[in-house]
Amino acid sequence: MRYFIELSYDGAPFGGWQIQDNSVTVQEVVQRALSTLLKEEIAVTGVGRTDAGVNAVNYIAHFDSARLTPEEALSKATILVYKLNAILPKEVVINKIIPVEESMHARFSAKSRTYKYYLHTVKDPFSNSYSYYYPFHKLDFDKMNSAAKHFIGTKDFSSLQKAHSQTKSAICTVTEAGWVSTDEHHHIFTVTANRFLRNMVRAMVGSLLAVGSGKESPEWIAKMLEAKDRCKAGNSVPGNALFLTKIEY
């Protein structure tokens, strides 16, 4: 039987979601916890890769189990979640385990993903862990939002993809991209798309900061995308301020 797991994690101590040889990853610790608890070899598939240091809220993954029945999963859901969280490191929490149809796939059944990037422009010791300190006090967020509109639509995002990535296609459909301010010095960029390339959101934010600081015009975003060249885009911003926050099925 197939199950969806809803989980959240602080990406700081991990080398990202996907299992790697040279670092501990979220996928690795979740698989190990499930295999230990269910006493069978469990393989976990996530909705997508998150890079080292990137965080997630209500991330979705799926696993198949020959031992766990849907009735047990529903009747013992609270106990299963409690036991898993007792095994997992403090930076990972399981929120729910949900029986689903076997045709459901955490990655391929997802219709959209939403990321948020947090930014602060004054020194703030309480924001440093999960927000990017960018000490440029006069960012023009009107221009940044005008620039962000150039991301919306079905386009080739090769210019924002991590160099030497092996993806077969760089075409993504972005349905939302823009900034909101929670106060004068704290700001959030939200972007929703059907899929994302490696490093895409962090390169988006870096490119928008180039516009907001006056180095580039809003129209430059369209030209940069047309170039299909990572060297033409802005710098990649740090991963600690990035959160995968919502997945739609």
For the annotated catalytic residues, the residue numbers are 51
Residue 102: φ, ψ to 5°: -65, -20
Q: Which has the closest alpha carbon to 68: 56, 76, 60?
A: 76
Q: Reduced to 3 states, what is the DSSP secondary structure of residue 120?
A: strand
d(CA 126, CA 222) in angstroms, rounded, equals 36
Cα 39 to chain centroid distance, Å, stands at 30
Tell me how far CA of residue 217 lies from CA of 189, 210, 214, 226, 237, in angstroms.
Answer: 18, 8, 7, 15, 19
Q: Which residue has the tokens 């386009």?
A: 155
What is residue 167's DSSP assignment? -
Helix axes 220-227, 200-212, angle to 10 degrees: 140
